[in-house]
């Protein structure tokens, strides 16, 4: 008899837990970053806030390190509603929102303050929502610092030093044009394949922010890091429009509030990680160079002019007016 009661109560508890679990709204978030990356930590913080806001009625489960595919794959999963959220760089988004090319155009922003004033302006907000017709809704921007060149065997101090060098870029036509304008040979390669490509000499270098340079261990191969800070390409947290519209108004508020609270937290983590990364790569024998950016800015002026007559050029002019 006691055994029957035990079995019955165990089964009842199991069924009740299943019922409670079924009431929880679960959103899956996948991205390509390592779990030590500041943006991943910020998304973990966001997930905790979602849980707090909803008192456990809503949950964000995170799948890092390309577990569900690269950036292109996760974007496609969002479009068909098979994945709720992802984090991507703004550069691949230019395929869907041509105006996002602006982030891959070099030397658009005067400094970090100018960048964030732009992102928080009507311009930035409009860009976040411009992908909705492709079933991609931007929830926020995350700080991804400035991108700079790193190379294996040759120091880059002036633009002419890039001549003849094969430089890895993201899959972005604008990023390709940027490297060409500076005199290098642009080679789009998936992020996950870059370490091997550097080792084997497929490319002579790449460009990225300090935390990515350090956490990817590319500093083991590339011993020169030139802080020319040519572009400031933010990360974008996306949600599938199909899944967003399926959420209740209350659930949308829980999620957006959690996202908004994660932004300042991510900025703090980013600054700490960026400073620490530069320190660590120098300890590992990397020479960090700080060139005269004026030479690089002048070199890409024709690239800016090439956008005349396009929405990107109009956007460029609007951004320059932001003080």
CA distance 127 to 263: 17
Q: What is the pLDDT of residue 14?
A: 45
Q: What angle do CA 152, 155, 176 make, to 5 degrees?
A: 70
| Same domain as 183, residue 109 | no
| Same domain as 217, residue 151 | yes
Q: What is the pLDDT of residue 22?
A: 67
Which of 83, 103, 88 lies closest to 39 in space, CA to CA? Answer: 88
Identify the residue whose tokens are 């190379």: 151
For residue 26, the SS3 value is strand
CATH number of the domain that residue 215 is part of: 3.40.190.170
Residue 152 inside a domain? The answer is: yes
| Same domain as 180, residue 219 | yes
Residues 227-266: tens digit of each pLDDT: 999 999 999 999 999 999 999 999 999 999 999 999 999 9
DSSP state for residue 66 in the 8-state scheme: T
Q: What is the pLDDT of residue 13?
A: 46
Half-sphere exposure in the Cβ direction for 25 (13 Å, CA): 19
Give me the number of domains the chain comprises. Answer: 2
Q: What is the pLDDT of residue 10?
A: 43
- Give the chain's residues under pLDDT 50: 1-20
Q: What is the pLDDT of residue 127?
A: 96
CB 115 within 8 Å of CB 232: yes
What is the extent of the structural domain holding 168? 147-232+279-321
Residues 271-292: tens digit of each pLDDT: 999 999 999 999 999 999 999 9
Residue 18 inside a domain? The answer is: no
| Same domain as 81, residue 124 | yes
């Amino acid at each position: 008899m006691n055994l029957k009661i035990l079995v019955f109560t165990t089964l009842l508890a199991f069924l009740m837990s299943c019922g409670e679990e079924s009431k929880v709204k679960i959103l899956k978030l996948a991205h390509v970053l390592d779990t030590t990356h500041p943006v991943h930590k910020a998304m973990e913080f966001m997930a905790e806030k979602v849980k707090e806001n909803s008192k456990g009625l809503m949950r964000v489960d995170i799948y890092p390190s390309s577990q569900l595919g690269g950036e292109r794959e996760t974007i496609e999963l969002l479009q068909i509603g098979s994945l709720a959220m992802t984090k991507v760089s703004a550069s691949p988004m230019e395929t869907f929102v041509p105006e996002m090319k602006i982030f891959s155009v070099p030397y658009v922003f005067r400094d970090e303050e100018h960048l964030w004033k732009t992102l928080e302006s009507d311009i930035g907000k409009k860009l976040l929502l411009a992908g909705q017709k492709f079933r991609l809704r931007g929830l926020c921007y995350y700080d991804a610092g400035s991108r700079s060149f790193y190379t294996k065997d040759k120091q880059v101090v002036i633009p002419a030093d890039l001549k003849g060098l094969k430089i890895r870029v993201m899959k972005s036509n604008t990023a390709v044009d940027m490297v060409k304008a500076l005199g290098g040979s642009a080679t789009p390669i998936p992020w996950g394949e870059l370490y091997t490509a550097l080792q084997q000499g497929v490319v002579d270098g790449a460009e990225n922010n300090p935390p990515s340079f350090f956490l990817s261990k590319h500093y083991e191969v590339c011993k020169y890091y030139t802080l020319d800070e040519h572009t400031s390409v933010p990360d974008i947290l996306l949600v599938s429009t199909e899944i967003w519209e399926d959420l209740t108004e209350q659930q949308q508020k829980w999620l957006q509030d959690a996202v908004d609270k994660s932004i300042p937290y991510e900025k703090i983590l980013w600054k700490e990680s960026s400073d620490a990364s530069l320190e660590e790569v120098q300890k590992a024998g990397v020479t960090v160079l700080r060139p005269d950016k004026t030479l690089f800015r002048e070199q890409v002026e024709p690239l800016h002019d090439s956008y005349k007559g396009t929405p990107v050029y109009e956007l460029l002019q609007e951004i320059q007016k932001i003080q």
